[in-house]
Structure 1
Amino acid sequence: MTRLWNNHRTGVLIGLAVLLILFFASAFVVGEEEQAVVIRTGNPVGTVNTPGGDVGAGLRFKVPFIESVRMVDKRLLDLEMTDEEVLSNDQQRLLVNAYARFRIVDPVRMVERAGTTDGVRVALEPILNSVLRQELGRRTFQAMLTAERGSALANVRANLDRQARQYGAQVVDVQIKRTDLPDGAPLQSAFRRMESDREREARTIRAQGGRDARIIRAEADAESARIYAEAFGKDASFYDFYRAMQSYDSTFSAAREGEGPKGDSSIILSPDNEYLRQFRGQR
């Protein structure tokens, strides 16, 4: 009886051990920030906690020893690009440091095409370099310092996202952390070129301002002549008197500002000089 009881207890323990092994071999937990792909004989057969999927996060089960599970991060992932030399449209050699943010939206395709998220990074890095070179190569260095930079990065993001879809990824953002000129002679040459460009623009602006000023003065002189003509037509004697007063003011002001010993000059005219007729009351 004792031996029978011992054999029964041993069988129960073995059975419990087998059940525990089967449980741990088949059970897996998927967190809220993860998604899982169930793989059977090398082929994906199911997903857990994927966007739009029916099975959410939590404790799940698979067929032990036949199926395996590949965990995939649902969060935003970074793709870093080290300093790369890019040739701009104005033949400037630029050192560009950029990064992209992406997420996995189709884990089954990712597993089939790239295997892991690191495989996605390896696949996307040369693509990011290529599309960045193409986009920046169509723009000047100066344009990359203006609002046009945002348009260029939007194009880079769209092109990279189009390529990333084949790996089950979605690119949500591309940014340039730094755009520098290489150290040394090329950098100094670029600064001198930029300085000469600014000086040329300043000369152009000054020339345009001078032209506009001449046009305004000409229009003002024409308007003044028109007013004078109208005044002369209405009262010729008053017009003659007004112009004589202007002439006197200019002449005597010039005499006061002459170069005599005390900073003044003298004008000597005969009493019956025609120029002084307004002072004699002869109009």
Structure 2
Amino acid sequence: MAMNPERIWQDHKLSIIVLAVLVVILAMSIYVVPEEEQAVVVRTGEPIRTVNTVGGDSKAGLYLRAPFIDRVVRVEKRLLDLEMADEEVLSNDQQRLLVNAYARFRVTDPVRMVERAGSTDGVRSALEPILNSVLRQELGRRTFQAMLTAERGSALANVRANLDRQARQYGAEVVDVQIKRTDLPEAPLQSAFRRMESDREREARTIRAQGGRDARIIRADADAEAARIYADAFGKDAQFYDFYRAMQSYDATFAPENGNAASNFILSPDNEYLRQFRGQR
């Protein structure tokens, strides 16, 4: 009996459609969990299974789920960063500090994370204000100078412990908290620099004034001593004193360094000023 070609084509067409549907359902049922991820299978809003979790039985690999019913939430297994923007913190000595800090955490309970935060971004959003608050409280107990010493390590350890207690309720574990930078705010810092600069300038003016006063005292003492010596010399030998003073005057008048080397002086031979050149005293 001959087969109807149209009937054969319809049978093949139906088989192809069924096969295509099966392939699509199989593709939707298969999911892959890599080593750096852990997964939570959620069915009708309730977590029913975990894959590749820390300490779990299932490992990374290929898995099946019920299509259209199960939803796979992928959770990072590696360390995650929690960045805190620059924040002003008031220290114990009333210094306004500009603090930039970060924390590192990992998700250790993905089921709780999915139930409480929904995703790792949800965990970050929940922990960011907590980190800010804990850091303010801890730094508020310490002075700015203390943050530059070894006491900074104990402060950060307390911040990590307090933040970790809060993170546990979201299925996360805080492993580290660090401060990248602790500075004075820009405006107070510039004001402090200007104040330091004015203090140094005032100190320099004081030192210069004291130096000028000491110089005048020394110069006056020297002039008095010179006058005394001249007076003693005049009293002992008036002619020698007159000769010495004339030589000083000649040196000041005719010395080349005074610019008088090329000058012409016209004086009478019997001028009183030249009496020492004539041997007259």
- TM-score bracket relative to the smaller structure: 0.5 to 0.7
Change (3 A) 1:144 1:191: farther
The residue type paired with residue 102 of structure 1 is F
1:209-224 residue pairs with structure 2 within 5 A?
none
What amino acid does structure 2 have at the position aligned with 1:140? T
Q: 1:131 aligns with which of 130, 134, 143?
A: 134
Q: Percent identity?
A: 72
State whether structure 2 residue 38 is matched by structure 1 residue 35: yes
Match of 2:179 among 162, 167, 176: 176
Q: Over alpha carbons, which structure has the higher Rg?
A: 2
Q: Return 5+ residue gaps in structure 2 as ranges.
A: 200-281
Equivalence for 2:276: none
Q: CA deviation at 1:184?
A: 2.9
Q: CA offsets, 1:6-41, max 9 Å, x none? A: 232122211211111110111111111011100000
Corresponding position of 1:64: 67
Distance of 1:191 and 1:164 partners within structure 2: 44
Which of 131, 139, 143 matches 1:140?
143
Q: Which runs of 5+ in 1 are unaligned?
A: 197-283
User: Quick one: distance in 2 between partners of 1:98 and 1:184?
Assistant: 21
Given the alignment of the two structures, is residue 18 of structure 1 paired with residue 21 of structure 2, yes or no? yes
How far apart are the structure 2 equivalents of 1:105 and 1:31?
A: 17
1:254 corresponds to which residue? none
State the partner residue of 1:116: 119
Q: Report the secondary structure of 2:186's partner residue.
A: coil
Q: Evaluate the alpha carbon distance shift between residue 151 and residue 192 of structure 1 in structure 2; reply closer, same or farther with a 3 A threshold.
A: farther
**Contact residue 76 and residue 102 of structure 1 kept, 8 A:** yes
Counterpart residue identity of residue 129, structure 1: N
Q: Does the C-alpha gap of structure 1 residues 184 and 4 become closer, same or farther in structure 2, counting only changes over 3 Å?
A: closer
Q: Please give the TM-score of this superposition, normalised by the length of structure 2.
A: 0.66
Per the normalisation by structure 1, the TM-score is 0.65
> How far has the Cα of 1:187 moved from its partner?
5.9
The letter for the 1-side match of 2:120 is T
Tell me the amino acid that sits aligned with residue 151 of structure 2.
E
Matches within 5 A, 1:87-236: 87-185=90-188, 188-189=191-192
CA deviations over 1:92-133 (Å, ceiling 9, x no partner): 110000000111111110110001111100000000000000
2:54 aligned with 1:51, yes or no? Answer: yes
Q: Give the RMSD, CA atoms, in angstroms.
A: 1.9
| 1:79 and 1:101 in contact (8 A); partners too | yes
Shift of 1:49: 0.6
Do the aligned residues in 2 keep the contact of 1:181 with 1:187 (CA within 8 Å)?
no
Q: Aligned partner of 1:43: which letter?
A: E
Q: How far apart in 2 are the matches of 1:62 and 1:39?
A: 10
User: How many pairs were matched up?
Assistant: 194
